[in-house]
Structure 1
Amino acid sequence: MTTARDIMTPDVTCIGAQETVLEAAKKMTELGVGALPICGTDNKLKGMLTDRDIVVKVLGQGKDPAEVKAGDLAQGEAVTIGADDSAEEILRTMSEHKVRRLPVIDGHTLVGIVAQADVARALPDPKVGDLLEAISA
């Protein structure tokens, strides 16, 4: 059985909830990623911050990215997947919540991210097609 741990990208870098969106954008640029998990001072996951969030919720609303905190953009409880959850559970969760990236949790510790591209590389084409259709709908 293929698990989240098998297909995730490990060594995830968080943006602190108290760091600014500008700092997050710089970190995304350095890492070549479009999303970062938002972690609190307790190192617990608070949410996800995407490049789209920065554009729509900060720049598009005329806010200063050097003033807005990453934690201000965390909305509700983050959708996650357990490290030992199956590929089918990843597909179900991504489809149900219409998300392209899932933080991978082992206990209470963030251990990786499963992105849509990771799923596409690891699973058979028909399942990936169903996922893409569900997320895009």
Structure 2
Amino acid sequence: MATARDIMTPGAECIGAEESVLAGARKLTALGVGALPICGTDNKLKGVLTDRDVVVKVLGAGKDPQRTTTGELAQGEAVTIGADDDVEEVFSTMKQHKVRRLPVIDGHDLVGIVALADAAKALPNPKSGELIEALSSDR
């Protein structure tokens, strides 16, 4: 069976937890992606910054994106998947935590991201429909 490493998009770039949300938004735009892993000064994953976070948690909440750090948006422990975990585990983790993007780690190193589309393509049709339905329901 395929693993997270097989279906991930490799080479994910981080945004520093001490960097501003504005810097994060600019990086999202420059890379043409909807999410960036948030890494601490210790290079460990702290969370994920999404374009939705920028709009809802910062702009919509009236916060200053230049003064708000990405680390302030990291909530608790980041949900990740091991690079050698199989696709069923990816599916289960995304469904359980209701996440659309899952950072892939090898040891403590970030090696890529599995997006909802990556997981859906790798699963048999009934399973991918189940995943999409689970992630599309109310949060």
Sort the TM-score into its range (normalised by shorter chain). Answer: over 0.9
Amino acid at match of 2:135: I
What's 1:85 paired with?
A: 85
2: CA distance, partners of 1:34 / 1:9? 13
Consecutive unaligned residues of structure 1, counting only runs of 5 or more, are none
**Equivalent position SS for 2:129:** helix
Do 2:94 and 2:102's aligned partners in 1 also have CA atoms closer than 8 Å? yes
What's 1:99 paired with?
A: 99
Amino acid at match of 1:48: V
1: CA distance, partners of 2:134 / 2:65? 32
Consecutive unaligned residues of structure 2, counting only runs of 5 or more, are none
2: CA distance, partners of 1:74 / 1:119? 23
2: CA distance, partners of 1:121 / 1:87? 10
User: TM (normalized to structure 1)?
Assistant: 0.97
1: CA distance, partners of 2:110 / 2:78? 12
The answer as to 2:28 corresponding to 1:32 is no
User: TM (normalized to structure 2)?
Assistant: 0.96
2: CA distance, partners of 1:38 / 1:23? 12
Do 2:120 and 2:131's aligned partners in 1 also have CA atoms closer than 8 Å? no
Amino acid at match of 1:37: P
- Residue deviations 1:51-99, cap 9 Å, x none? 1111111101111101100001100001100000010000000001110
Q: Percent identity?
A: 73
TM-superposed deviation, 1:123 = 2.3
What's 1:50 paired with?
A: 50
Amino acid at match of 1:56: V
Runs of 4+ in 1 over 6 A off after TM superposition: none
